[in-house]
Amino acid sequence: MNIQEFQTRLFSEAQTNGFSDIEIYFEKKEVFGCQVHNGDIEQYELAEDGGVSFRGIVNGKMGYAYTEKIDEASIPFLLKNATENASVIDDEYIEEIFAGSDRYEQGNFFSTELNEVSIQGKIQFIKDVEREVLAYDPRIVATDYCMLRSESITKTLANNKGLTLTDQINYMYAHLLAIANNGEETKSAFEFIMTRDFNSLNAKEFAKKIAEASLSQLGSKNIPSKEYPVLLRNDAAASLLAAFTANFSAENTQAGLSALNDKLGQQIANPKITIVDDPLLEEGLASRTFDSEGVASKKLTLVESGVLQSLLHNQKTAKKDQTITTGHAKKDSYKSSVKVGPSNLYIQPAAASFDDLVAAVDEGVFITNLSGLHSGTNQVSGDFSVAANGFFIKDGKVQYPVNLMTIAGNFYQLLKDVQEVGSDLIFPLSPIGSPSILVKSLSVTVE
Amino acid sequence: MLSRSLIEDVLTAALSTGGDFSEIFVEDRFNNNITLKSGNIETALSGRDFGIGIRIFKGMESVYAYTTDFSKDGLLKTARNAAQAIKGTGIIRPAPLVHESFPTLHPIQIMPQEVEKARKIAVMKKASETAKGYHSSISQVTVRLMDEEQNVLIANSEGKFVEDKRVRSRMAIQAVAVRDHKMETGFYGPGAHQGYEFFETLNLDHYANEAARMAVTMLDASPCPSGKFPVIIDNEFGGVIFHEACGHGLEATSVAKNTSVFANRLGERVAPEIVTYIDDGTLLNEWGSINIDDEGEKARKNVLIENGILKGYLIDKFNSRKMGMESTGSGRRESFRFAPTSRMTNTFIAPGKSTPEEIIANTEHGIYAKYMGGGQVEPATGDYNFAIMEAYEVKNGKIGKPLKGATLIGNGPKTLQLVDMVGNNLGHGAGMCGALSGSIPVNVGQPMIRVSEITVGGTKGE
């Protein structure tokens, strides 16, 4: 049974079973991944993946169910479960099936050339990277997570209000952890690249970047634990922003879980901060021409010069706040219900070069990596206390690596305490991006 | 789930280019997930996961392919495409399949698919009301109920053919307390390798009240000081620190590559004599328990560290080749989308002799971590970080005021050396562990322990 036959049968039986509005969303994904270790292929992954999400209104309420098995027997399974799920929902706001926007942008998130790169070519590249990293310096003793992955995804949404939409996206990324040891200490560094243009990749340059990143951490010293000005490198700043992005969701403000509730029009950040969400970004990991309800994608400014301009909305949260959807309905996958979430969300880059940012610090800490963000952050209060790697800055110059640190502070306070924003916007294998940012002060504890 | 002759054809096709081992993993899983927020059912999701994973080895090479296409043509194509990555000479034929049975270690009484959602919701509402009623400052309670029935079939070219049904149930209770613009959360998430009977026998009041108490207590918490302190970590989920700091480093995934700090150290002293560390997939109906692993090996009890001496690793089939050591029944994966690798099941520090009262009374000035949050570790260096969800100051042998924003950082092997007291109150806590082969259910556990010194990163400064 192909997906077209499945859809036709499902829609017809859903109507017979009392569903009025009906939607089907399906994903199809092709994956290639390979991981190498000491020149051998350690993992090799090929996949054809996908599934179908069904939702529909029955007895005045929305019910959901999904399946990865496309067969005859799945149709009654979906209808029975969606009906039962609808019957237990208490929400007074009913989700709606969307009839369509006036106009949809043309997406440019798919490269035919990328899909034609040979598997051999991809394997050769990642092997070259590993070899170059290990050969770079005798102090580089091992690598780990040395892998390349490419994905090609097709998403289709169709409903019985006449809407049929399809998006296609593909990308390739590679990453590696290099482990350096100087006889006294072991340090590691993780770097990645992501692209849609395979020919732009240069194994030697990438290897050099990773090798340098791990070597530069050797020879770490202690500094006194206290409050320091902190320069968050672009990828570290992006990972911190990602940990608190849900606070911009109207779902969280309406549930009383975000301190941005009632802050529209207010100054929530330093005027140097502008935050946007751009679903149409060509190089974005979360790029799309329509959201999970079928609403047309467009760029949205959330924070402009420090002032909160908008939250992220889907149809339901917009109705509750008596506004219109911003096109940020989001399903994590066909297994999920429609929630609210960002697409490609980032802090807008400014003019300062990275060197300018370092030069602006008399005495401070430069953070290159944060870990433990899933556990060391309190989404609701904005408090965070997370492990960090980085360097000591003195008199406008990066001096030496610092032993393992924690940095602690509060996200909302940090937004206000931003002193400078860099020009080096990056999306660290994530749809949430940032340039490097200089923060007035955070509490730094050194092991 | 698939016919035996089709499985044989797939295993044969997978070896068509000279592989020396092939395996098929078929998964058919039913999931239910219900969320109750502020007394109302917000989402109710159900679905069926279905797919097939095919794995081929040749020497130290491993290839993995998966698909949701279960047609004969689709499966044979997937097997042949995967085999293209292998270049060998000499074709091996798979051994005839022999159906293998094993004892059901974790009996299931009530299959979750057979229980009406209304009954499940009644339990959730009770938990929600209990937490809400704990204190007037509780502003919101979210209760999630999850259950799953995972049916698997594992067959390989060595003739193995096993089937298993895994049923798991879990409830997660989150309470939010609000006062004077301050907002704090508390969380408890008990789970078991059990059916609906788990919810019927669960001490709901205890878990709901604890989640609420945690949130309310943290409203009055002071910022945690930074520095080096003796740290007392209580039982149950407190074991997460050794899960991260030692458990991951004992997995063959990093040991076989010599990237673990514990590699090549069997027989050496890695911890004080009071520390014994065990991974046991056979504990009755525990959240991390298994009948067989995802490579079809029987669950077992693996002593990893005994009285401070490193005794063993957690080993899966592929890494057993690399290490020249037997598999320990530790090959696990989230789903058919992941090749299995060595993972933990229920991992815990064995109980010692001290009572919790003695440990606290013996601590002049330190930090007491009653409930731990999550954390992570870099296996290559052993460096870890953890959040403490509910922390207290310890002064003159007594538990003092609550502290917030506390993070523990350090180095796993070093911290292990600094364990100086082990309590007698062993308890286990349920969690999800994310690594190479996906997110899987595991228990972490320990009695109360004391570490003589850990770096605490707080918001208060020195």
Taking only the tens place, the pLDDT of each residue in B342-375 is 999 999 999 999 999 999 999 999 999 999 988 8
The verdict on a CB contact (< 8 Å) between A337 and B81 is no
Minimum-distance CB partner of A188 among B47, B381, B461: B381
Beta-bridged to residue A153, according to DSSP, are A29, A169
- Region B46-63: mean pLDDT is 95
Q: In a 3-state reduction of DSSP, which class is residue A189?
A: strand
- Residues with Cβ < 8 Å from B426, sequence gap 6 or more? B235, B348, B349, B350, B351, B445, B446, B447
Contact A342, A277 (CB under 8 A): yes
pLDDT at res. B405 = 83
Among candidate residues B336, B330, B265, B419, the one with its CA nearest the CA of residue B51: B336
Residue A356 in this model has a pLDDT that exceeds 80: yes
Q: A371 in contact with B at a CB cutoff of 8 Å?
A: yes
pLDDT of residue A378: 83
CA-based nearest distance A83→chain B, Å: 11
DSSP letter for B243, please: I
Q: Which of chain A's residues have a Cβ under 8 Å away from the Cβ of B258?
A: 142
So what's the ipTM on this one? 0.91
Q: Please tell me which residue of chain A has the smallest CA distance to B71.
A: A1
d(CA B68, CA B89): 30
The nearest CA of chain B is from the CA of A303 a distance in Å of 23
CB contact under 8 A, A89 and B455: no
pLDDT per residue as tens digits for the range B90-136: 899 999 999 999 989 999 999 999 999 999 999 999 999 999 999 99
Neighbours of B323 (CB within 10 A): 17
Helix (H) or strand (E) holding A95: none
Which pLDDT value is given to residue B245?
82
| Three-class DSSP category at B82 | helix
CA distance A61 to chain B (A): 11
Residues of A in contact with B461 (CB under 8 A): 225-227, 443
In this structure, which amino acid lies at residue B211? Answer: A
Contacts of B44 (CB under 8 A, 6+ apart): A63, A64, A84, A85, A86, A88, A89, B32, B33, B34, B35, B117
**Window 308-347 of B, Cβ < 8 Å to A:** 337, 339
Q: Cβ distance B154 to B23 under 8 Å?
A: yes
pLDDT of residue A257: 82
Angle, in degrees to the nearest 10, between helices B72-83 and B4-14: 20
- Model confidence at A380, pLDDT cuts 50, 70, 90, reads confident
Q: Please give the pLDDT value at position A447.
A: 79
Q: Which two tokens stand for residue A169?
A: 């996206």
Digit-coded pLDDT (tens) for A137-175: 999 999 989 999 999 999 999 999 999 999 999 999 999
Asked if the Cβ–Cβ distance from B459 to A51 is below 8 Å, we say: no
Residue pair A317/A95 in contact by the 8 Å Cβ criterion = no
Residues 6+ apart with CB under 8 A from A212: none
| Residue linked to tokens 């017809």 | A12
Of B69, B185, B381, the CB nearest to A48: B69
Which two three-digit tokens encode residue B1?
Answer: 């789930």
pLDDT at residue number B377: 81
Interchain proximity A47–B259, CB inside 8 Å = no
* Residue A302, φ and ψ in degrees, nearest 5: -90, -45
Q: Chain B within 8 Å of A219 (Cβ-Cβ)?
A: no
Do B87 and B17 contact (CB within 8 A), yes or no?
Answer: yes
CB contact under 8 A, B64 and A45: yes
- Range scoring the smallest mean pLDDT among A367-376, A387-396, B8-17, B20-29: A367-376
Structure tokens at A73: 């027997």
Overall average pLDDT of the B422-434 stretch: 96
What CA–CA distance (Å, rounded) separates B15 from B31? 34
DSSP-derived pairing of the beta strands A40-58 and B61-67: parallel
Could you tell me if B375 lies within 8 Å of chain A, comparing CB atoms?
yes
Q: Chain A within 8 Å of B406 (Cβ-Cβ)?
A: yes
Residue A183 has phi, psi (to 5 degrees) of 90, -20
Tokens of residue B272, six digits? 């004080």
Residues of B in contact with A30 (CB under 8 A): none
Q: Give me the residue from B42, B43, B378 closest to A188, CB to CB.
A: B378
For residue A51, the SS3 value is strand
Q: Which of A63, A74, A385 sits opposite B458 (nearest CB)?
A: A385
pLDDT of B462 reads 44
Reply yes or no on whether the pLDDT at B430 is more than 90: yes
Q: Please identify among residues 221-260 of chain A the ones whose CB lies closer than 8 Å to any CB of chain B.
A: 224-227, 255-257, 259
Record the tokens describing residue A263, joined without a space. Answer: 């802050």
H or E, element range at B239: none
pLDDT digits (tens, 9 = 90+) for A324-348: 999 999 999 999 999 999 999 999 9
The C-alpha atoms of residue A328 and residue A320 are separated, in whole angstroms, by 15
Which residue of B44, B60, B62 is in closest CB contact with A44?
B62
Q: How far apart are CA A12 and CA A24, in angstroms?
A: 12
Domain ranges of chain A: 220-447
- Which member of A91, A225, A409 has the closest CB to residue B40? A91
Phi and psi at residue A262, to the nearest 5°? 65, 15
pLDDT in tens, A170-208: 999 999 999 999 999 889 999 999 999 999 999 999 999
Contact A41 B82 (CB under 8 A): no
Taking 50 as the threshold, does the pLDDT of residue A302 lie above it? yes
Q: How far apart are CA A316 and CA A323, in angstroms?
A: 10
What integer best gives the mean pLDDT of chain B?
95
Integer Cα distance of A154 and A13 in angstroms = 26
Yes or no: say if B20 and B58 are a contact pair by the CB < 8 Å rule: yes
Q: Answer yes or no: do B409 and A447 touch at CB < 8 A.
A: yes
CB contact under 8 A, A47 and B65: yes
The amino acid present at B92, given as its one-letter code, is: I
Contact state of B380 with A186 under an 8 Å Cβ cutoff: yes
Which neighbouring-strand residues pair with A180? A140, A187
Q: Of the candidates A37, A49, A404, which has its C-beta nearest B337's C-beta?
A: A49
The residue-averaged pLDDT of A303-321 equals 97
Assess B396–A contact: CB distance below 8 Å, yes or no: no
For residue A230, the cross-strand partners are A365, A439
CB B453 within 8 A of CB B229: yes
State the average pLDDT over residues A211-221. 95
Dihedral sign (CA B261, B267, B268, B274):
positive
Residues in a beta bridge with B174: B142, B187
Residues 6+ apart with CB under 8 A from B376: A371, A372, A374, A375, B244, B384, B385
- A188–B254 CB contact, under 8 Å: no
Q: Inform me whether the C-beta atom of residue A81 falls under 8 Å from chain B C-beta atoms.
A: yes
Amino acid found at A115: N
**Sign, CA torsion B173/B456/B412/A138:** positive
Strand partners, B379: none
pLDDT over 70 for what percent of chain B?
99
Q: Which of A296, A300, A293, A294 is nearest to A316 (CA)?
A: A293
Q: What is the pLDDT of residues A20-55, one digit of tens each?
A: 999 999 999 999 999 998 998 888 999 999 999 999
| pLDDT above 70 coverage of chain A, percent | 100
The H-assigned helical ranges of B136-203 are: 197-201
Quick one: pLDDT band at residue B258, thresholds 50, 70, 90? confident
Q: How far is A176 from chain B (nearest CA, A)?
A: 13
Q: Chain B interface, mutation test: which of A406, A407, A410, most B Cβ atoms within 10 Å?
A: A406
B215: left (phi over 0), alpha (psi -120 to 50) or beta: alpha
- Give residue B461's pLDDT: 52
> How many Cβ pairs within 8 Å bridge chains A and B?
248
Cβ neighbors of A116 (< 8 A, separation 6 or more) are: none
d(CA B182, CA A261): 14
Of A88, A225, A227, the CB nearest to B121: A88
The minimal CB distance from A47 to the residues B67, B373, B410 is found for B67
Distances (CA, A) of B320 to A357, B39, B59, B92, B281: 50, 50, 12, 21, 19
Mean pLDDT to the nearest integer, B46-75: 95
Hey, which residues does B422 pair with through a beta bridge? Answer: B449
Kindly list the structural domains of chain B, giving each domain's residue range(s) and its CATH number in brackets, ordered by start: 4-29+46-98 (3.30.160), 112-151+162-220 (3.30.2290.10), 227-457 (no CATH)
**Does A256 score more than 90 pLDDT?**
no
Q: Is B372 exposed, middle or buried (0-12, 13-18, 19+ CB in 10 A)?
A: buried
* Whether pLDDT at B242 is above 50: yes
**Min CA distance, B353 vs chain A (Å)?**
31
> DSSP character for B292?
B
Identify the residue among B176, B455, B460 best suited for mutation to test binding to A, counting A beta carbons within 10 A and taking the highest: B455
Measuring CA to CA, how many Å separate B167 from each of A85, B52, B279? 21, 19, 20
Q: CB B324: neighbour CB atoms within 10 A?
A: 7
Chain A residues inside the 8 Å CB shell of B63: 41, 44-46
pLDDT value of position A41: 86
DSSP secondary structure code for residue B99 in this structure: E
Contacts of B380 in chain A (CB under 8 A): 142, 144, 177, 179, 186, 188
